[in-house]
Amino acid sequence: MLLLDRVTVKLTGTPSKGHYLETLPEAARRRAAEVLATGAQRPPVSAAAKGLTVSASFLDFAEGTDQPVRFERGNVLSGGRKSRAVDRETGEYVEWELPHWQSPASYYCLYSTDGAMICTATVEQETIDLSGDGMVGLYRVRVHRIAAAGAGETWSEVTDASSAIVSKLADFIAAFLVDHAPARHSAEIIFDFGGTAQ
């Protein structure tokens, strides 16, 4: 039991279930209605990996390691910045965006030091309990699309898994997910360009 005394609660409004369902195509509406009715979780990502896979562990960020990209916890509830993974040399950082708690897709956005967006990655992400203790053991992230900023206001799609931006994003996403002492989990980041979120 937790007793809360003199606590300020901030409520955030979201569309009602009925309104949310009305915005979906018919097939997706039926699936979402079933999930909402049963309280079940979204089915996990099931397709096999088609591209580059990068793995990371909490051991990569253990005390004494000198990783260039590290996690920094934010505090948006008190008006501060969001949590992010930051490159300590360049100042570039990645933030995670979830448009809606029921959305199958979320986004990792890479920014320069001055806050200009460098690229955005559309991902499907799931958490897996490996030990049966109710705790996250593995984050599995499937990257379906990367859009990179070009000259002026142009954007281009990254389709080459050997591109420098791909390895840079992998480092940032890994730090964002597993650099959380004393948590002991891992991440698997799969670059599956052209896939779609289920």
User: For 10-44, what is each residue's pLDDT tens digit?
Assistant: 544 444 444 445 555 566 566 656 655 554 444 44
Q: What is the 3-state secondary structure (H, E, C) of 67-87?
A: CCEEEECCCHHHCCCCCEEEE
Q: State pLDDT tens for residues 97-140.
A: 999 888 889 999 999 999 999 999 999 999 998 888 888 899 99
Q: Is the pTM of this model over 0.85?
A: no
Encoded amino acid at 126, one letter: E
Instruction: Give the Cβ contact number of residue 177 at 10 Å.
Output: 26
Is 155 within 8 Å of 146 (Cβ atoms)? no
